């Protein structure tokens, strides 16, 4: 039980620290964010979450989440179709083999 409590407290502290960093960084004026090597911008309505570093930028806005969801659905459908086609091919091959064996046994 003590290990579970320690994990819970560690996770709670980490979430609290990350929330504090996001709130403080989001409330900084734009001219300070422009000069900084690291900045966070977020808003809830409409949902938008951006992390900007000196060389990279991560944007998790509404459009990004929709694009990610659509790509995930398409990938899942493609994988499912490929698996179905592979299984159908195996079943057809097995059926032809069994029919050939059956026809050889009858003769």
Residue (of 64, 34, 69) closest to 47 by Cα position: 64
Per-position pLDDT tens, the chain of length 107: 688 999 999 999 999 999 898 888 888 888 888 888 888 888 877 778 888 888 888 887 767 767 777 888 889 999 999 999 999 999 999 989 988 888 888 76
**What is residue 62's predicted lDDT score, i.e. its pLDDT?**
66
**What is residue 10's predicted lDDT score, i.e. its pLDDT?**
95
């Amino acid at each position: 039980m003590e290990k579970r409590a320690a994990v819970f407290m560690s996770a709670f502290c980490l979430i609290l620290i990350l929330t504090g960093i996001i709130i403080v960084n989001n409330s900084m004026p734009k001219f300070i964010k422009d000069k900084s090597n690291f900045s966070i911008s977020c808003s809830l309505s409409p949902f938008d979450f951006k992390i900007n570093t000196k060389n990279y930028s991560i944007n998790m806005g509404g459009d990004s989440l929709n694009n990610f969801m659509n790509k995930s659905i398409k990938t899942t459908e493609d994988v499912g179709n490929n698996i179905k086609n592979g299984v159908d091919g195996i079943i057809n091959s097995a059926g032809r083999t069994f029919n050939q064996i059956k026809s050889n046994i009858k003769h």
